[in-house]
């Protein structure tokens, strides 16, 4: 149920770490309530095959898998049918997890080291690890492009940017790392390293993900010695000989040494940074969704235009056929009238001939 603290007690690094892991775990564990562990693992096995398939075959493969699963278990079949189709960027990351898992392993290890350095407030290490992350992310995106190209597709620079943002989230949050490395990613991720990544709806079958390993605790900093009292300062000054004043280079070095910010100021700065990055992530996600909707709308318009053109062609052909049928009807009606008049005339001729025959027969008698 979470960590319990007495009133007035401040949260320490362990509490923050446990809170982040607990939030990530709650986000990942939202699974269908009636699904047992074995059924969940069966769903995860089916999902692994679906998300490893080519993106254009996903819907057909999902339909076939759901039908096959429903033959054995209707509930499992419904769960398979509900597996969402991944976005292009998420599919590219899944291909990277499937074909080049060592790339994600290296990024996950880097992320663990960065979080340890951040917990220890080790600014020099963070700067060095930040440079290393930029290099590794660029190489990972290039690898993802190559892997996707081997699958017969290509990704745009916009999609490549989404892939990079997801891989950056992997290095910032242990829960995001587990989701990305599962190969069942549905949408891209974003994390700033302060708050936990939003994994709601980001991965298929989240209950089958392994628990995120805890980060290594930061190295203990040596305790500071208490400041000497005024009497002790006087005795120490009287006992030791006078020392020469520090030279200017040493003073400059002391002045240039960065001092860590006080904990309250650091927490406020981190909170402001987290809020700004969350807003940026929401805006980027909204822009991506609108872009996808615009692309889908353009596709629908093109399909409707093709269908309209086909219907116009069919209507034109039907109108031409109707006109030909009307002309045939007019001709046939005229011929029918002529035939009717000829038949009437022939009937009158036959009647006259019959009357003549009758008269001649009577005359002979």
Residue 133 reports pLDDT greater than 50: yes
pTM above 0.75, yes or no: no
| CA nearest neighbour of 25 among 219, 210, 298 | 210
Number of domains in the chain: 1
> How far apart, in whole angstroms, are the C-alpha atoms of residue 328 and residue 335?
10
Q: Does any domain span residue 351?
A: no
Q: Does any domain span residue 114?
A: yes
Q: Does any domain span residue 182?
A: yes
The model's confidence at residue 36, banded by pLDDT at 50, 70 and 90, is: low
Q: Does any domain span residue 331?
A: no
> How far apart, in whole angstroms, are the C-alpha atoms of residue 77 and residue 64?
10
Q: Does any domain span residue 240?
A: no
Domain carrying residue 69: 15-216
Q: Does any domain span residue 59?
A: yes
Q: Which position has the token pair 């995860």?
A: 44
Q: Does any domain span residue 106?
A: yes
pLDDT number for residue 212:
60
Helices (H) and strands (E) in the chain, counts: 12, 0
Average pLDDT score over the chain? 78
Extended beta strands in the chain, E state: none
Q: Would you give the DSSP letter of residue 255?
A: H
Q: What are 67-111's pLDDT values in tens digits?
A: 999 998 899 999 999 999 999 999 999 999 999 999 999 999 999
Q: What are 202-212's pLDDT values in tens digits?
A: 999 888 887 66
Q: Does any domain span residue 309?
A: no
């Amino acid at each position: 149920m979470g960590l319990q603290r007495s009133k007035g007690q401040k949260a320490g690094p362990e509490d923050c770490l446990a809170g982040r892991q607990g939030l990530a775990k709650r986000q990942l564990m939202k699974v269908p309530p009636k699904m047992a562990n074995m059924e969940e693992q069966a769903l995860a096995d089916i999902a692994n095959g679906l998300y490893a398939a080519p993106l254009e075959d996903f819907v057909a493969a999902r339909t076939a898998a759901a039908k096959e699963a429903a033959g054995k278990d209707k509930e499992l079949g419904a769960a398979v049918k509900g597996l969402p189709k991944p976005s292009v960027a998420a599919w590219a990351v899944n291909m990277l997890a499937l074909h080049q898992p060592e790339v994600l392993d290296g990024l996950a290890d880097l992320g663990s080291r960065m979080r340890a350095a951040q917990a220890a407030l080790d600014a020099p290490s963070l700067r060095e690890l930040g440079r290393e992350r930029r290099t590794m992310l660029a190489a990972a995106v290039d690898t993802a492009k190559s892997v996707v190209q081997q699958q017969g597709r290509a990704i745009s620079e916009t999609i490549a940017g989404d892939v990079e943002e997801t891989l950056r989230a992997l290095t910032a949050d242990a829960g995001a790392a587990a989701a990305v490395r599962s190969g069942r990613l549905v949408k891209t991720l974003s994390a700033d390293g302060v708050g936990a990544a939003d994994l709601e709806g980001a991965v298929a079958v989240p209950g089958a993900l392994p628990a995120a390993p805890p980060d290594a605790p930061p190295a203990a900093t040596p305790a500071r010695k208490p400041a000497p009292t005024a009497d002790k300062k006087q005795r120490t000054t009287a006992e030791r000989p006078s020392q020469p004043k520090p030279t200017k280079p040493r003073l400059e070095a002391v002045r240039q040494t960065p001092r860590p910010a006080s904990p309250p100021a650091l927490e406020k700065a981190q909170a402001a940074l987290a809020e700004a990055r969350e807003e940026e992530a929401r805006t980027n996600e909204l822009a991506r969704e609108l872009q996808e909707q615009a692309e889908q709308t353009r596709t629908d318009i093109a399909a409707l235009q093709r269908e309209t053109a086909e219907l116009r062609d069919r209507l034109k052909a039907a109108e031409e056929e109707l006109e030909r049928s009307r002309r045939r009807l007019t001709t046939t009606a005229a011929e029918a009238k002529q035939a009717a008049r000829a038949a009437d005339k022939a009937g009158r001729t036959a009647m006259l001939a019959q009357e003549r025959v009758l008269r001649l027969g009577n005359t002979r008698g």
